[in-house]
Structure 1
Amino acid sequence: MTRDDWRDIFGHDEPYPEQEDGIDAAVSVARQSGFLSLEGACGTGKTMLALTAGIHLTRDPDSDYERVVVLTSVKQQLRQFETDLQTLNENLPADYDPVTAMTLVGKADVCPYNIESRAGIDDANVYDRCEGLRDRTRGLTDETTAGSLAGRARSQQVGLADSGSDATAQFMEVLGEPTPYPPDTVETDGGVEYCPFYAQYLDDLPEEGDPAEAVPFDFTDEGLIERDDLVRLSASHGTCPHSMMGAILGHAEVVIGNYYHAFDPTTVGSFTGALLDDSTFVVCDEAHMLEPRVRDLVSERVGDATLRDAESELARVLQPLTLDGQRGERTTAGLSEARDLIRAELEESDVSVDELATLREFIRDLREEIADRIESHLDAEHRGWRADPTDLPDEEIPLRDPEQPGVDAITEWAESEGYTDAVWSRAETVGAVVGRILDEAEDEDARRAAPGTGRVLGAWYRNDHTDHFREIELERSYADADATNGWRGVYNAALAVHNCVPGDAIAERLGDFGGGVLMSATLAPLDVFEEVSGLADLESDGRPVEQREYELAFPEENRASFAVDVPKFTHDNRGYPPATASVDAGAESENDTRRIYANALREVAQSPGNVLVGMPSYAEAEWAAGVLDSLNKEVLIDESSGDDATERLKAEFFRGDGKVLVTSLRGTLTEGVDYRGDRLAAAVVCGVPIVNTASPRTRAVRTAYDREFGDGFETALTVPAVRKARQAIGRVIRGPEEVGVRVLLDARYARDSWDSVRAYLGPEREEFQPVSPDMLPFGLEQFWGE
């Protein structure tokens, strides 16, 4: 392979012109340790483009790149990368080695006991049980070898099979593959439960050297190692699939994961940190979601229930140090052993008993202060809530003026109560020690609350009061609502410290990589994206950044795109949905706006086939569904619900005759969903889906963006909202033979006014013809007639 000849590994006969240009640009800028920001419409072939560029660089002997890491926030896109990798491998020249690739998954997806519902392990407890079993397995190797532990499990299985019982039933099978172990976990003669799969891994693990030496099967010829393959190969050899994933990680040419694998500090520290260096070519897919997802990952929160559990854990550690033990010899002996364990851990970690006691008191008082603030807020905003708290909405209680940076009320309260900086700054260390003590002292497999609580309290203390915003979050708990328990019966309350400007965190992580591609179908305006994602900062530090924008390449005659000049779909114009609107002087004009939108929605919804309607909220989606109910067409309404309900709704939409699906643009049905073929004939978006600007958190983010970028409303609110709209209408045309209509309802899409958003519509902005509401029916009729 020559230095710049990537065509041998390209997965198809010939690249599209956009792919050829994009691959060349990505390779060129990556050789300079830079990044390509790329907007490419559906059909551009962005996945193959990025994979080809990255794999070409990893196989170039003159390049320092050793692997490609793909990050995406959408499961469907993850599957697309897997599909394109298989295509690429199938079409490699005969003398080329296959590209070794792996998708990162969680313990719940690969644990043999969880998959087969054995050993009391399920999705709810698999992480805690796994860590407990691993800890005990490692602990047992102080007394015996890991090989002996695995051998004991194998012999128990054999013994059961030889005892005359049904031999088949004694083998544990995982995804149809037999393992060498009995169906449940194993115990030592002393009754200590351990995991034989993990014991076998420890036995195979070299004392020094490459962990891949512990892999008992050849993974270099596997190409893409999918989840089921990883589980079957590992379990059949009696070793831990999750540990195998970690062992193979450093040798895979392509690793596919989620954003949290690179940006969540906890995940990076425990698992994927070795991938984050300048020998890695990174691909950030669906990059329009990078900023909001990372903002959430680098923000911190701790719930009221977690604070309660942390206080209890501190009490359990303190108790043996304060009891006198005068309750019998056995009790005295047990206390003495517990004291010795606790004192040894405290001495080793340089944590004092006074620090334990102070942190416990602090957390207790903090919970009381939070409760007082919640009750005061509810008394002021929702009179009578104590009689029936079940109707309370989600709430945010700001702890400072969102638009005036300053010290928050909780920090001021703590200082007034005599809790010094030392309490905050040492909380993380003290919490970690408590977690280690309880893990060793208690048999129960449990996720400890004290370490996480200490981490959040430490972050609360360290983070500034300018780019970070602190508040109390109240989230409704509909499943377990209990009006008899006051606000705690209906709310999950949490202290939260939000990182308003995550660009620095994104830039810091991207700077760890050697270079790469950040891409999406809705990334424009690219200059704004580069500002808020930190790419502009990297460029100013000497890391080059290139831009590419590629339009929809499918035949224009197959689609009609309208920007309808109707009154802005804002609260001032439309008011509340009629079911909740009050009758006042403005009701007539509000009804006029809604009447205009209702007529336009009916026109689009009568398109032949399935129609998707995107509204700014679920409340507005309910209104729109009511407006369309009179059509001679089934109307489905999406509600804020779990994944299973959403999947059932989607399947119903795709089945049978044409229907209308009404949803919120903040839901999951307008991004990353496959509407290929005849699954969707039209999509219409009502308004510019800007988030609630009255929310304290939103106001804090906007203020921080005003200070950082000059126009917070544009960068923090308007541009992300238009991307949501573009994602929704982008569901319609997914292939060269597909036909459909795309409609944006709102004057801001149609006019070049002071608040116009036409400039944010990307490379296709000129396709969206501004039309009056009266002309929309004629345009639709003409298109479908042709």
Structure 2
Amino acid sequence: MSEVDEYLRFFPYDEPYDNQGEAMDRIHTSLERGQDVLFEGACGTGKTLSALVPALEYARDAGKAVVITTDVHQQMRQFVQEARAITRQEPIRSVVFKGKASMCHIDVGYEECQVLRDNTRELVDARQEEAQLRERERQLLSDAQDGEERAVEARDAVVDELENVAERVQSISSEKNVCEYYKNNLTGNVDEFYEWLFDDVRTPDDVYDFAEARTMCGYELLKEGMEGVDLVVANYHHLLDPMIREQFFRWLGRDPDDVITVFDEAHNVEAAARDHATRTLTEQTLNQALDELEETDDPRTKRAANVLRPYRDALVEVYEDSFGFGERERVGDNWEDVAVANESGRDDLTIEFLQRYEGPGYKSDLEAAVMLGKDLDDQYEEAYKNGETTTRKDCQTLQSAAFVGAWMREGTDEGLHPVVSVRRDQGTDEVYGRAELYTCIPQEVTRELFEEVHATVLMSATLRPFDVTEDVLGLTNPVTMAYGLQFPPENRRTYAVSTPALFSSARDDPQVQEEVGTALHDAVRFTPGNTLVFTPNYAEAERYAQRLRQQGDATVYLDEAGVDANDLRERFTNDDDGVLLTSLWGTLAEGVSFDGDDATTVVVIGVPYPHLDDRAEAVQQAYGKAFDRPGKSDPGWTYAVEIPTVRKTRQALGRVIRSPEDIGVRVLLDERYTQQSRSDMGKYSVRGTFPPEERDEMIDLAPEKLKFAMMNFYQDNGRYDGPPPAP
């Protein structure tokens, strides 16, 4: 039996596509060699099975486990479907894992849960010991009654011990907090649960409902049942957070080298890793820490307050000084950044803090604050464990002092960017601030993961250029493979339309709006079905939605604040002559399918660069320094702005043409997408950033020619019911 034939025991369908067979073979070989894989595959490539099938085959032979992960809910559901199909072909033991917060039956935090588990286990162990002693006492009593003299003395000792244990059971029961759900895990028959769990692939909701009906903790049952499984489906944070990852592998009962990780939608790993590495401290936490210190009778409180109060006051001073006339009143409930970093030297918050600090040395005061915080945290845990409090209190002094220490030590480190943000509290209507150490280079999180596991497969429809992905995530010599659309090319057209470049400075130009709006109107009018439109931001989506409403050729759906995106999508897809406008950086640009007749044409207006704020500038600078080498032209701009934008654009274009039967048009409205722009617009042309086979499909059009091209394409494919619109 060949290696590919061996894979087929895990392949749940008749036979793989040609590219699937090739991809499986290359991935299996890479796993045998312990090599990482970058795998780009367009819609229809069958990426999930291409990665899972060889990974499961290799893992079973090598005694390893496979963890497949995504940050997109729809993909999580897809993984469950594929795993169910696989297990009907070749039985595998699978667990679908979510965070504790979404599965807790009594809604407590992590630290409270940890204390409850400890108390509950202590109570159960004590009751088991009590039961064993009672049985021993009864046996010794029987022996004594039969005349065994030594049994009398032994029974007296057991009775004394039994009294002590019974008192301990009573003390725990009456004084300490326990979890009834977890207690039933420890004392009940869990065989029924595991028989049910591994009879199929169960979702976290399935597990929650099954456990709730039996007053058991489904989350803890999953943890206990993970050891020895073949496949785990999980969220990004189980792998990208170092502390969670260490626990996660322990639950698996595997060393990291015995784990194969698969990341889907891997173009999102960069941002997710950056978020996991970033640390924050709010003004509210600092205030709570200062209140905590006032209530604490310890000589170290003065030193702790001596360092935390000036940091809090400096934070307030920095963001208050940033407000211009009327700006404070306009602060909303989303975080808004205040730039504090300086090109040379320390940031504004640090400078303000050092000016306000008075004492023998902030470092020694911080050390005292951290030690006091650790002691207080231990006291809070003991109090909750002993039932003196009904909730497990968090130590705000420890959190605050640890963050301030990191800020002062690491604030000038390469790749870290200090930021201050403000928002309005919806409850109190008060404005408050936050300090943040923003991580610019995500490989500080991802490199360690890739080095410690056996191998990783990163897959997405938009991973190229591979060398950029390697640099940003810290991969070393991965195997790379890319497969384009497998669907009939005659079923689709991609038009690059030479409307004026929609630079931010040109968006308010009436002539530019007229030319872009006319081309968009033509695209909508000549689409036999629904049109999906992506714009640089929500303001532009609203602008062109208003124009389309005035023209009245289609029902206009606008993605905007206060509108549920899922409800909006459903209303749009139920239509047959609608146009949906949204931001390219919104929730509908990726991870959401518009299958079949849901959307026939997709239009991207402009080159939707992200908002170039202080953070984006910091990432550009960090990338520019980290990846500046011969042959790399402006890596800061290329890595941080241009390539992420083109990836998002490619994701948006992929919302249509989802099957071999789909027929549709993709329209890029901006001259920067055209071939001519490569010579006319220099670095602002993005045509060359697309993969070669996608560039080859792009047909350059003058704006006035778009309607004729679309009419001819859809008419040739018999898509109009009756005559087409008049040009």
Q: Among 404, 421, 428, which residue is 1:473 paired with?
A: 421
Count of residue pairs the alignment pairs up: 652
Give yes or no for contact 2:462–2:651 (8 Å, CA) kept in 1: yes
**Counterpart in 1 of 2:658?**
734
Of Structure 1 and Structure 2, the greater helix share is in 2
Give yes or no for contact 1:385–1:392 (8 Å, CA) kept in 2: no
- CA offsets, 1:687-735, max 9 Å, x none? 1221222x11111111111101131000011100111111111101111
Measured after TM superposition, the shift of residue 455 of structure 1 is 4.2
**Counterpart in 2 of 1:629?**
549
Matches within 5 A, 1:37-76: 37-60=38-61, 63=62, 65-76=63-74
Q: 1:679 to 1:51 in 2, by over 3 A?
A: same
Matched, 1:509 2:449: yes
Measured after TM superposition, the shift of residue 569 of structure 1 is 1.0
**Separation of aligned partners in 2, 1:282 and 1:626:** 46
**Separation of aligned partners in 2, 1:426 and 1:296:** 30
- CA offsets, 1:138-185, max 9 Å, x none? 56568655999xxxxxxxxxxxxxxxxxxxxxxxxxxxxxxxxxxxxx
Matched, 1:456 2:403: yes
Q: 1:595 to 1:394 in 2, by over 3 A?
A: farther
TM-score, normalised with respect to structure 1 = 0.77
Q: 1:18 to 1:391 in 2, by over 3 A?
A: closer
- Which of 48-57 and 743-752 deviates more? 743-752
**Counterpart in 2 of 1:613?**
533
| Bigger CA radius of gyration | 2
Matched, 1:698 2:616: yes
**Counterpart in 2 of 1:653?**
572
- CA offsets, 1:301-327, max 9 Å, x none? 1111122223233333x23x5xxxxxx
Matched, 1:103 2:96: yes
Matches within 5 A, 1:197-212: 197-203=181-187
Give yes or no for contact 1:71–1:284 (8 Å, CA) kept in 2: yes
Structure 2 gap ranges (5+) = 132-169, 629-634, 717-727
Matched, 1:563 2:496: yes
Measured after TM superposition, the shift of residue 108 of structure 1 is 3.9
Give yes or no for contact 2:441–2:623 (8 Å, CA) kept in 1: yes
Q: Secondary structure at the match of 2:444?
A: helix
The CA RMSD over aligned residues, in Å, is 2.9
**Counterpart in 1 of 2:702?**
772
Matches within 5 A, 1:168-567: 190=174, 192-203=176-187, 217-218=194-195, 221-235=198-212, 238-272=215-249, 277-316=256-295, 318-319=296-297, 321=298, 353-354=299-300, 356-378=301-323, 382-385=324-327, 388-389=329-330, 395-401=336-342, 404=343, 406-416=345-355, 417=357, 418=359, 419-424=361-366, 430-441=372-383, 443-446=389-392, 448=394, 449-463=396-410, 464-477=412-425, 479-480=426-427, 482=429, 489=430, 491-535=431-475, 538-539=476-477, 545-567=478-500
Measured after TM superposition, the shift of residue 775 of structure 1 is 1.4
**Separation of aligned partners in 2, 1:650 and 1:465:** 44
**Separation of aligned partners in 2, 1:277 and 1:190:** 42
Measured after TM superposition, the shift of residue 571 of structure 1 is 1.3
- Which of 8-17 and 411-420 deviates more? 411-420
TM-score, normalised with respect to structure 2 = 0.83
**Separation of aligned partners in 1, 2:333 and 2:173:** 54
Q: Secondary structure at the match of 2:668?
A: strand
Measured after TM superposition, the shift of residue 45 of structure 1 is 0.1
Structure 1 gap ranges (5+) = 93-97, 114-120, 149-185, 206-212, 322-352, 483-488, 540-544, 576-589
Give yes or no for contact 1:216–1:237 (8 Å, CA) kept in 2: no
**Separation of aligned partners in 2, 1:393 and 1:51:** 39
**Separation of aligned partners in 2, 1:447 and 1:690:** 44
Q: 1:192 to 1:392 in 2, by over 3 A?
A: closer
Measured after TM superposition, the shift of residue 11 of structure 1 is 1.7
**Separation of aligned partners in 1, 2:368 and 2:28:** 46
**Counterpart in 1 of 2:80?**
82
Measured after TM superposition, the shift of residue 363 of structure 1 is 2.0
Q: 1:286 to 1:620 in 2, by over 3 A?
A: same
Measured after TM superposition, the shift of residue 456 of structure 1 is 2.8
Give yes or no for contact 2:495–2:667 (8 Å, CA) kept in 1: yes
Measured after TM superposition, the shift of residue 470 of structure 1 is 0.3
Measured after TM superposition, the shift of residue 360 of structure 1 is 3.1
Give yes or no for contact 2:124–2:187 (8 Å, CA) kept in 1: no
**Separation of aligned partners in 2, 1:231 and 1:187:** 31
Matches within 5 A, 1:144-183: 144=127
Give yes or no for contact 2:104–2:219 (8 Å, CA) kept in 1: yes
Paired AA for residue 366 in structure 1? Y
Give yes or no for contact 2:602–2:653 (8 Å, CA) kept in 1: yes
Paired AA for residue 721 in structure 1? T
- CA offsets, 1:404-460, max 9 Å, x none? 354333334444524433444676554343233223335142562344434433432
Measured after TM superposition, the shift of residue 736 of structure 1 is 0.9
Measured after TM superposition, the shift of residue 214 of structure 1 is 8.7
Q: 1:481 to 1:591 in 2, by over 3 A?
A: farther
Paired AA for residue 371 in structure 1? V
**Counterpart in 1 of 2:24?**
23
